Structure 1
């Protein structure tokens, strides 16, 4: 959520604001919930950074790095999404997965953001098993294409 407002009652997983009976200005609460849903449903980030981009596009989301500054100060590890000209921050939950457009891979939250490591395709050696190498190469290529491993 943004820094400006804090809601008295939110959903347990994503912190979406709840409505109250006879609540005034329901549109504010509903719009805040829609903004969070828009940012987090099928989440994709532009990349990871410590400072906000100089000219962010509406709807852009970023992973806030470990040394945040500027508008992102105090939001390390969160998702920062640009909505209506403001930054909307969302705390990740265990098991959350986002797609990083800059590295073309999936990033998962498990006690912090975790990325797959590059895997070297087997080559050389004294005994060459062409079929095994072809299979491993194909497997690695598929894992890269699925965003599970980064391209090397």
Structure 2
């Protein structure tokens, strides 16, 4: 499924193929639409990498890095989905969120894939405010729990 052919009419956001009246071979269009929808619903990625994962299982989704190689060449920043023994590539749209299982946090696409950086608890300084530090630490733990910040 690595871009086998182009569909004449597709949806605007994720290029889901549309059917035409009297069209032969409808199952190919419907199956392609289901494959793309399956990859995008409840989207969680295994992680980010530049080369295809040899150990990828059916249904696994990866973020393609900025310098893809092998079968992923030409698809930087795409979602690479393992479907029917081949790679299906989906181009992200601004505002798309996925959960990155490798870093245990959400990733957000706006031209590039973005993620929060590792948070460091405040230490040292000339004036120590125990309550403020406790509040910051509690906020950090809460943001990690919902996947906004990476886990330590």
TM-score tier after normalising by the smaller chain length? over 0.9
Q: Partner residue of 2:42?
A: 42
Shift of 1:81: 0.2
Q: Partner residue of 1:52?
A: 52
Q: Partner residue of 2:102?
A: 102
Q: Secondary structure at the match of 1:127?
A: coil
Q: Secondary structure at the match of 2:87?
A: strand
Q: RMSD over aligned Cα, in angstroms?
A: 1.1
Spell out structure 1 runs of 4+ moving beyond 4 A.
none
Shift of 1:151: 2.1
Shift of 1:146: 1.1
**Counterpart-to-counterpart distance in 2, 1:55 and 1:97:** 24
| Match status 1:9 vs 2:9 | yes
Q: Partner residue of 2:80?
A: 80
Q: Secondary structure at the match of 2:142?
A: helix
Shift of 1:22: 1.1
- 5 Å-filtered alignment, 1:125-140, equals 125-140=125-140
Q: Number of residues paired by the alignment?
A: 152
Give the TM-score taking structure 2 as reference length.
0.96
Give the TM-score taking structure 1 as reference length.
0.96
Q: Partner residue of 2:148?
A: 148
Q: Partner residue of 1:91?
A: 91
**Counterpart-to-counterpart distance in 1, 2:111 and 2:12:** 18
- 5 Å-filtered alignment, 1:114-133, equals 114-133=114-133
Q: Secondary structure at the match of 1:106?
A: strand
Structure 2 residue ranges without an equivalent (≥5) = none
Note the alpha carbon deviations across 1:9-58, whole angstroms, 9 max, x for none. Answer: 11001111111111111111011000000001111110111110113100
